[in-house]
Amino acid sequence: MPTQTPAFRTLWVRALVVPSLLFLLTVGSLLLTVGTASRGASLGPTAEQSTAWRSSYSQRFPSCVALVLWPRTALPKALLVQDAQGVRTLPLREGMALLRDARPADRTEIVGACR
């Protein structure tokens, strides 16, 4: 029984199409990963969503600044949180736990970050 060898064109299509598709999928995946990672982690709301910083907070909490002024790369030691108990400072872990466990009806928000 004679065997037929694939045509030259078929061999080139197989040799170029499959690796090209794999390359495009890999590059697309890397671009999505880099784009997601470059957004960075945020400690809280953006400038549009944040609670208004009052000048009295600067006097009451001298080591704290508005969250929108806190550098994204620095990790605060405490958070200035506004909830049903009023405005108060909490250690970072406690503040994040309070925000994680809060319901939308609680209206718990980060107001600032503290050194």
pLDDT of residue 45: 47
Q: Is 92 exposed, middle or buried (0-12, 13-18, 19+ CB in 10 A)?
A: middle
Question: How many alpha carbons lie under 13 Å from residue 27 in its C-beta half-sphere?
Answer: 6
CA distance 62 to 79: 13
Residue type for position 8: F
Residue 110 has pLDDT above 70, yes or no: yes
CA distances, 83 to each of 6, 56, 104 (Å): 73, 17, 11
Give the sheet arrangement for strand 109-114, strand by strand.
64-66, 109-114, 78-83, 86-91
Q: Answer whether 106's CB lies under 8 Å from 84's CB.
A: yes
pLDDT tens digits, 65-104: 988 888 888 899 999 988 888 889 999 999 888 888 888 7
pLDDT tens digits, 18-64: 889 889 888 888 888 876 665 555 555 444 444 578 888 888 988 89
Model confidence pTM above 0.85: no
